[in-house]
Amino acid sequence: MRNLWRGIVKTIFWSYERGSWPYDIMVVVIVLFVLLTPHSWFRDEPVPALPARSGVLMLPGSMGTNSSTYRVDAQLLAPEKRAAKSTPELERETHDILGRTVPELNGRSFQVVRIVPLLSDAGSVLYYDVTVH
């Protein structure tokens, strides 16, 4: 029992000498964990940067359904039209921007279903996540 406890303590505090067989086994276990862990266990997805040209980006995971979500840079709207909540004027403006800049929506009838503003730490609007149907 004492040897088992000593082995657990040495493993937790990583006190095996480099090159010993317990050290090598711990390294192999860590490498296997890193390489074999399914991506779905971690929901960490980077937020893609907006293209400088249009300021509109289709968000991943929004294709294949009846609706699509686009990230619209708030700089595309006049400062007086930026709002921290959805308004009819904001819906109209984002509808026009998406109709002009997104080829899939150009010349097609679509409706803005939801607008979610993304705020900076200072409280100003950086982007809008716009869901269209």
pLDDT at 61: 65
Query: How far, in Å, CA of 57 to CA of 117, rounded?
Result: 15
Length of the chain: 133
pLDDT at 28: 94
pLDDT at 41: 81
What is the model's pTM?
0.58
Tokens of 68: 């699509």
**Spans in the chain with pLDDT lower than 70:** 44-54, 61-65
Model confidence pLDDT, tens digit, residues 70-106: 999 998 988 888 888 888 999 999 999 999 888 888 8
The continuous run of DSSP H or E covering 31 comes out as helix 21-36
